Amino acid sequence: MAATASSYSITMRLHTAPDHGVVGTVATELAKAGGIVTAIDVAESSHDRLVVDVTCSAADEAHSLELVAVVKAIAGVEVHKVSDRTFLIHLGGKIEVTSKVPLKTRDDLSMAYTPGVGRVSMAIAENPEDVSRLTIKGNSVAVVTDGSAVLGLGNIGPGAALPVMEGKAALFKKFANIDAWPICLASQDVDEIVKAVEMIAPGFGGINLEDIAAPRCFEIEARLRESLDIPVFHDDQHGTAIVVLAALMNALRVVEKNLADVRIVVAGGGAAGSAIVSLLLAGGAVDVSVWDREGVLCRDDTALSPAKADLAARTNPNLRRGDLQAALDGADVFIGVSGPGVLQPEWIKTMNDGSIVFALANPDPEVDPAEAAKYAAVVASGRSDYPNQINNVLAFPGVFRGLLDARASEVTIDMLLRAAEAIAHVVKDDELHPSFIIPSVFHPDVPKAVAAAISGKPMA
């Protein structure tokens, strides 16, 4: 049975016979079926029945249906209602706008709104540089998507992307006290997206591009960086690259190797893979190869798309060719940002001693982390149910906190390298372990350290 997850957590309201022993039977049968019972609450008790709420985690949606069927089969139990806890927390959305100032009296209104607000507007008109100090612009980020590459779900459109963008905005607030706004655009045309972001930019201190498919995302980011005077950050690229480099720095410390000396294979030549390669090379890596559906990308392959040709030109110095299995022979590091099941566990045996495997495709990684751990010295994934989760939330809140604090106008490679080092150094020498190469997303020092690295200001 696959591991259960809180994202597939359900609560069943049960009507049972007035026998508390039935509750124990329910818990036992759910456990036999692979469910994890996290709460049992008797909501109502009378002489003729019990009303019981049972909350349990399943492995996936199909498993949750199986668990409901198991309970329905228990004599004396009626399943009155089933609630999906993930859907419940999304009812009405996950974020809201609240006022930071009191609005209780006429005086309050006269200062926060008309006529007093007119004085502030005129002050900004006369001194435009004050807009960040006198408005929300100085602490606001637009989270922009076209819905074309949402999580691992693909091109599902801007409406379906909105829950993800809301979640991103909630994370900005939680981890860096930044007010972020989900902007889901009803276009997948590069010119229209660029124009739309340019038109809303005056109200924001930074732009976070999110879940926009490659290669379109590359052009959008490049054009916006050229036209805007506020930082533009594509989290799927640069956030991923920062956290991967941070984790790799610490993994290399575990196996006592140097970045400049190891041979690295990156699976996936899309947005994340391209950014990871760029940051690895900037950080001192020398021998990096990229495998994609065409095989190992090689600079003398004239059939490659422009984006992959550019990637090939910067990688694979020894002009290797072949499939992923061949690429891994004698490699030190595997970094996967591709798709599920592309790496067979036994191929890891052909890698060098002290091998490092980052299988980051989510929710289904390139190789089962538990199987990879039989052969590799250090294993990481994008999942929260295994050690060493590579999660972008370690990077983007602190990155934007630092950018906003510094009133930065752009994001530089040097900033990204400093952010990676900051995350890596949160893990102290006495904490470093093959199963602990990256700090928890809830570690309070992470966003502070990243923000300080970005802004150049001391950590608060």
Q: Distance between CA 88 and CA 91 in Å, rounded? A: 5
Q: Which amino acid is at 17?
A: A
β-pair type (232-234, 263-267):
unpaired
Q: Which residues pair with 337 in a beta bridge?
A: none
Q: Which of 72, 113, 173, 374 is catalytic?
A: 113
Q: Mapping DSSP to helix (H, G, I), strand (E, B) and coil, where does residue 6 land?
A: strand
Q: Give 3-state DSSP helix, strand, coil % of the chain, rounded to 5.
A: 45, 20, 35
Angle at 452 between CA 275 and CA 207, to 5 degrees: 50
Provide the 8-state DSSP code for 364.
Answer: S
Q: Which amino acid is at 168?
A: K
* Residue in 114, 129, 145, 113 with CA at minimum distance from that of residue 202: 129
User: Token pair for residue 406?
Assistant: 């510094």
Ramachandran sector of residue 456 (left: φ over 0; alpha: ψ -120 to 50; beta: rest): left
375 in active site: no
Max Cα–Cα distance, the chain, nearest Å:
81
168 in active site: yes
Q: Distance between CA 26 and CA 392 in Å, rounded? A: 39
What residues are labeled active site?
113, 168
